[in-house]
Structure 1
Amino acid sequence: MGIGWCIGLLAVGGILTFAVDWDLAGVNVHLVGLILMAAGIIGIAAYVSIFKRRRVQPPKPGAPVVEEHHRMHYED
C-alpha cells in the first residue's frame, strides 16, 4: 500500500466518522470510519518505517586528506 492509499483511507475514514449522518441497518458508519482511519495510520507508519530504512545509505567516501608539510626556515 502506498502513501496515497493510506492518506485516502484517512480521508474517507474521517469523512465517515465526522461528516456523515447516515443510518444503515446493521452497519455502524462511524465505527467503519474509525477502522479506516486506524488502517490509514498503521499503513502510514509502516510505509514511513520501510521508506526510512530504504533511504539510509552508507556514507560516501570523502576526498582523500592531503596534508602539506610546511617547512619553516629559521634564521639563526
Structure 2
Amino acid sequence: MGIGIGIFLLVVGAILRWGVEIFVEGVNLDTIGYILMGAGVLALLLGLVMNTQRTNTTHREVVDRRTDADVRRRDVE
C-alpha cells in the first residue's frame, strides 16, 4: 500500500510541477508539486523498508512429541 501511494504522490506532484500551466492567485502549484513529490519519495522509501522488514522475520515451530513410554510413566506415578 505504501509503495502505491508513494508512486501516486510522485506522479501527481510531477504533473503539478511540469504539466500544469494554470496560475492560481495565492497558490504556487510548483511548490505544491515539489511537496507532493517529496512526500511520495518518503512514502516510497518507508514502504520499501516495511516490506524488507516483513520478509526478514523468522518463525520457529515448537513440536512436543510424546511417546507411549512417556504416557505409561505418568500413569504409574
The residue that corresponds to 2:21 in the other structure is 21
CA distance in 2, matches of 1:57, 1:5: 24
State the Cα distance separating 1:43 from its structure 2 match. 0.4
The residue that corresponds to 1:54 in the other structure is 54
Counterpart check, 1:42 vs 2:42 = yes
State the Cα distance separating 1:59 from its structure 2 match. 8.7
CA distance in 2, matches of 1:29, 1:39: 15
CA RMSD of aligned residues (A): 1.8
| SS of equivalent to 1:27 | coil
**With structure 2 as the length reference, what TM-score do the two structures score?**
0.70
The residue that corresponds to 1:5 in the other structure is 5
Large movers: runs of 4+ above 2 Å: 57-60
Report % sequence identity.
37
